Structure formats: C-alpha cells, structure tokens
Amino acid sequence: MAQVGREVDDFLMYFILMEKIPVGSRTVESGRLCCMSEESYLQRVTGDQDPAPSLSVTVIEENILIDVDVNVLHPLSQRQAALLLAIHNSTERLNCFLERGLLEQAVQAEVGQRVLVEHEQKLFPALIHYVGNTLDTSTLLPPVYFGVELEGEGEGRGNMDGSYKGVTFFKCRKSSGLLLPFNKVIFSGAPPPDDAGSTLSGSVNPGDKVMFFVEDSLKRGIVVFSSNQAATGFVEVLPEEAPSSELLKIPLDSIVKEENATPDHQSPVKDGKPAGREEPVKVNVRERHLEVDSLVQIQYKGDELAFGIIRWLGYLPQIDDVMAGVELEEDKGCTDGSWWGHQYFFCPPRRGLFLKLKACQPDTRFLSSRDCSPKSLESPKPSRDDSHRVPGKVPPLQGAAAVDILEGDMRGIQGHCNSCYMDAALFSLFSCSSVLDSLLFKPSSLPDGNIQQTLREEIVNPLRKKGFVSADSVMNLRCQLMEKSQCPSFTTSEKDPEEFLNLIMHRILGADPLLKLQSEGQRVQECYCYQIFIEKQQEMTVPNVQQLLEQSFHHSQLKLAEVPSCFIIQMPRFGKEYKMFSKIVPSLELDITDLLADSPRECVVCGNLATLECAECFKDVILSDHGLKQYCLVCSKQVHSHHKRKNHKPTPLKIPEGFLKTPNKILRETLELFAVLSIETSHYVSFVKYGTEKGSWMFFDSMADRFGSENGYNIPRVTLCPEVATYLAAPLNDLMNQNPREMKGVAKRLFCDAYMYMYQSKRMALYK
C-alpha cells in the first residue's frame, strides 16, 4: 500500500472500541480507534494481576489518553486501522468493522482492480489508481483512501483529475477521479470495462437482480416490470426486504444489473410470505445423493463454476421443480438466504443463491479415496454417504503403524476454504494421542450427539484407520459448529485454534476444563488453553518452553491447582504477525512439580523437603539461571544472609500432612510433548511426535499441494521430519547462531513459527 506523509511507528498496537467509554463528564463513542506501544502493552498485561486488566490507550483522533478494560478493545492491524480511520462517523466505522467482509476485501485490494463505487447516490464502475493516505496529519495514523477513476456513465462526474491540495496522487481523465473511504467501494461484482455502460443503463428484463439507492441506502431487488423502458426511463423493482408486494419505480440510470444467476421464476407474495406449497421434497434417482449440507458445484457463467453448500431444499411458489438454497464460497450470489420476504436459510449477503436442484452437481474437488487422478474427476464418487463413517473405537497411531498409515500425499485431513486452523488442531490432538479421547465418548453436561458423532466417526476414526479425512467431513463439522455457535463465518473464514477448541470443548461438548489455575488469595480459575504473557528480557534470546512457562507463572503469581491431563500452551505472540522471540526451543518434557499449589517440593540447595518459597529469588542467576526458588528452613537462612537478599520475604509452602509425618522421596511431576501447531503467513501446520525414538517426528500440512486451479482441490500431505531431532540435540549457542533459512527440512517452522504446544500426562489421562 502506498504511504504518503510522515512515517507511522511500527511498534504501535491498534484497537477499536467495541463499547462506549465514559471519561469524566463526556463519553468516548464506540468505533473510536486507539493505540499504544507494544512495550507498554507487554508491561501492562504482564504486570497487572487483575483477571481483566485495563490498558492505557491513546484515542487516535482526539489524541487523549484513557484507561479502558481490555475486553472492550479489539486488536487491529495497522492496515485495518488506517482504512477504518478514513470513515469519519464512528458508528458507521464500527458497523463496517463488524461486517468484516468488506474490510477484508479492502485490505487485499490493489491498484488496477475494477470496482463499483457509490457516488451521488448511484453506483458507477471505476478503476483503482491509488491506495494510500492524503497528507492528512490531523491524527496519529494517516487514514487510507482509494483513489479511483470513474468509467462508463460516471465519466466526468468526479471532482478531481488525481490531484488533491496541489499534490498529484494519480492521473486520470478530467473530473473523473474520486478519493473515497473503503465503505464507498464494492470490490466484487464490478462489470468489465466493455460491459460497463450496459450494466448501468442498458436493457434489463423481468427477473434481473439489480442494485439501487433509496435514501442513501444501498438496496437490492428483482425487476418485475420493464416495458417501454426506453421511453419512460424507469423500471419497477420489488426490493428484497419488501414486507408486501409494493413495487418501487426506479430511474433506469440509477440501477446496476447483477448478472449473478437469478432464479428462473418469480411469484407473488401474499401477507409477506411466499404463496408456496408445503409438501415432501421429491428427488429423482440421479439427485438422491444431494441433501442439506452437501457440497455442490454449479455452472455459473459459461464454463465458470461456482462452489457452495446446500443449506435448504424445498419448493418455491409457482415453481414445480425441487429448489436448492445454496450458500456460495464467494460473493457471487444475490441474496442472504431470503426469497420474496421470507428467510429460508441464513448466510452472508451475496453468498446465497436459489436454483433448481437438478442444476447442482457434487463438488468434484473432494475425493473419498487416495486416487487424485484427473480420471477420478470425470466420474466423481460423492463422499457424503455412510462409507466415510468409521464407527466404534479406533486407537491412536504409534510407531511404525503411524508411518504406514499416515505418511504420503492425500494423507491426514484435507484442507478447504480457510480450514487449516481446524485441520492442524484436530491432527495434532487425535492422530497419535488419546489424551482427549474422552471428548469422543464421555457423556457431557451439554450433550450434542451429532457433533460428537461427527468428530468421532467422520474425522478421528477415519484418520486413525484410513489415514485420510476428506474436506467434506470437516465441512460437515464446521456446518454443525456454525449452527450451534450462530457464527455464519465458521464455514468460510479463518479462526484461531484456541477459538475452535474452546467452542467445541466448552460450549458444544461441555467437557471439564483442562486447566485449573490458582492465584494467591483468589478463587481457582478454569480454562482450556493457557496464554503465556511475559516481559521480554535481554538474556532470554532463545528460550525453551519450560523457561517461558515458569516466567509466566511467576509474573502472574499463578499455580496449578491440580496436574492437568492435557496442557495446551500458547506462545507469547500477538496476532499472527508479531513474535516476541525469533526462536523457541521445544521442551520435550515439561516439569510442573514446582508449579503445583499443594505439592511437596525439593529445596533447590540441598534437595530436602522445601518449606519456603521466595519469589524475589526467581531472577537470581547466581542460584540458578531459571526455575522457581524454594528452600528448607536451614538453606533459606543461609541464602538470605547475603546482603543482596536480606530484604526478601519468603512465603511458607503448604506441605501435605502425611509428608511431614513420614517424609518420602519427592517425585517429579512431568508432562510430555506430543504435538506443536505452527503458523506462517496465516497458515497453520502441525508437528506430531509419533514414537519414543528421538527422530519420531512427522509434519502435516492440510494444503501442501493442489490439483487443478480454481476448480481443483487441495492435497494434504504428511512427511517424516527426523531433522527436528538434530536441532533439538544441538548446543544452544549453535541454535542461536543458526540462520533459519538454512535449517534443513521443515525444522525452521517448528523453532521459529511455533504457535501452540500440546503436552500430555498419560498418568492423569487414565482418570479423565
């Protein structure tokens, strides 16, 4: 993106206010943008002991400092913040952020892209010539605008030739340029230049989908009457949101025709509902394999295919054929699931399409076997039948069996439509470990049999038995999660792994929390994943997971209330881009003995039973370079006799009563690493330890390769990566000096891109 004007601090973090904030006698409106330095953010989060700390942020437009509850702030990238700042109304800005789709399109928009723009309450085709700021120094972050050149009917209706306040940002025809915020631009559905005029003022026919403005608001509707349009210059349109059969008379030059495949018949509306029939859906033999949630492809325009999911099957008014309501993968539709004022299903705007069921074909990109040859595409075998289910109990894979079943192409879980976060998480948790198998079988307090059965019989069991899970099985799970979570983007948008795990474990299956954390004087807190927050220290250049966990627990004054069967740890990074450490060394074994609240511990000096702990000795490298510091009474007196430690205040440890009477050998409580999730450029992959040998590591990528282009499908791949063990055994100095680009195989993605570590206690898993 082009940037003009003063430079913006690269070390600022940006947020949008999700709620109004009272500040003295005034109120800071929701939708305002705020910022703070990364350094201040890290110090505040790691230094504050409140469960929901507040942050001191600067309101960008007003340049004032306010304290805000962290839960009211939503993080933004610098690019998102700059685009949102161009929208001056904070309420409108917040609405644009919540819709997300348009903002995501704006972030990816490029110079040379054809778009539609809103101008003078009409839509005109245009060409993007410039993306950047306009020398606006009135705020801490220069807002970003789109410089466009109007085409077709819009030519000569602009207000510039590419120059603004004496500065030339781009060049275009006289009075044909505009500088606009992104919410005045439609990035998809723009007509090609040759057809620009016809889509604006050319011939339209009954049944055509059109866009138009009513009182500054963009509307969509169906043309129902257009006779003698050349003479009158008007057409009659039924708006999609119409509560009755009232038609609107719209000037012909104020509409834009949507060419995106409309239904074959229109029918009258009665009492706000379609005058249709309610009867069982009759499907012929050829169409029996298609049902609700089936993945389908549609002949869209000419040879172009569109892909989607059947959300509804039934009859529409005055149409004899069985109709399908399809949610498309892209904005190529013409509805949000409504037809003539009646909502048949729900999907984002412009993702829905109604068409005859016989016009739908199974999506040929997804195969149910390892055969991915072009021949298999000619006669696709639909995988949404009972053959993809594997009932019963299938144990996790280990050793040679894991290699035999999982290694190779079309192995693992097939990725599709931003599913890598889920694919990598499921492969990590279930391919070679049984620590969370209770989720598959254990009755929960919030039972959802369908989702649990899908997870068990369509994903975990096929993965362990056949080594392959087709994308439609994962999509089936995503559809069910979307319905339960009421989040329409669950089948299309990328999520975070922890968001998926929290949803399925807590809200869907009602599983017991994996972690119970206790802070001094506070109640036990329960959670499923633990996020590490620490202050960056100069001496910690290449830390290991053990050090990071101890640092985080020390700064947050936390203890484990009990030994977890599964410990999922998120690394200290903020978003998918910022990383606190360039490399992190995986700790193959995690010693949590000293992190337990009421467990006997060893004196770090003599090894006897410890009775005191000193938080202030934690950073004393003379005693040891890491680890919590606890002592017996004698050693504590000796250690704190030093003049530098005289002011320390050791606290008593809780010792189990039986241990005081008959002291026993103190056993170390350890967890073993079984999987790591990594992320690079918004794509998640997985490392799994599949055996006891040091080199028993495998790497999984659900979208490692692709067959075909737009109409093709992703090829998941599992490869062995014994080179990981070589770097794990290397001296720390060698690892510090190792150039990531020169690391062999996929080792760089484990050491440099780690996002989430997964540990298990096989002893505790027996009781969970």
Catalytic positions: 420, 683
Q: Residue 441 gets which letter from DSSP?
A: H
Burial of residue 401 (CB within 10 Å: 0-12, 13-18, 19+) is middle
**Cα 318 to Cα 256, 263, 283, 322, 355, distances in angstroms:** 27, 12, 18, 11, 14
| Of the candidates 224, 229, 228, the residue with the CA atom closest to the CA atom of residue 206 | 224
- The strand pairing partners of 715, in sequence order, are 705
Tokens (6 digits) for 468:
């392959």
Q: How many CA atoms lie within 13 A of 374 on its CB side?
A: 2
- The strand pairing partners of 719, in sequence order, are 699
- The strand pairing partners of 352, in sequence order, are 327, 335
- The strand pairing partners of 125, in sequence order, are 116
* Dihedral-angle region of residue 556 (phi above 0 means left; psi in -120 to 50 means alpha; beta otherwise): alpha
Q: How far is it, in rounded angstroms, from Cα 260 to Cα 332?
A: 6
CA angle, 150 then 154 then 156, to 5°: 85
Residue 597 CA to its chain's centroid (Å) = 35
> Which residue type sits at 107?
V
- The strand pairing partners of 570, in sequence order, are 531, 756
- In sequence order, which ranges of 343-416 are alpha helices (DSSP H)? 374-378, 399-406
Tokens (6 digits) for 559:
């203890």
**Cα 685 to Cα 210, 366, 577, 586, distances in angstroms:** 43, 20, 15, 16
Compute φ and ψ for 234, nearest 5 degrees.
-130, 155
| Of the candidates 675, 701, 678, 673, the residue with the CA atom closest to the CA atom of residue 583 | 678
In order, the DSSP letters of 481-529 are HHHHHT-GGGGTS---HHHHHHIIIIIIT-PPPSEEEEETTSPPEEESS
Residue 400 CA to its chain's centroid (Å) = 34
Residue 301 CA to its chain's centroid (Å) = 31
Q: How far is it, in rounded angstroms, from Cα 413 to Cα 169?
A: 47
| Of the candidates 503, 512, 384, 378, the residue with the CA atom closest to the CA atom of residue 442 | 512
**Helix, strand, or coil (residue 423):** helix
Strand extents, DSSP E, 167-322: 167-168, 177-180, 185-186, 209-214, 217-225, 234-239, 248-251, 256-258, 269-270, 273-274, 295-301, 304-314
Residues belonging to the chain: 768
Burial of residue 385 (CB within 10 Å: 0-12, 13-18, 19+) is exposed
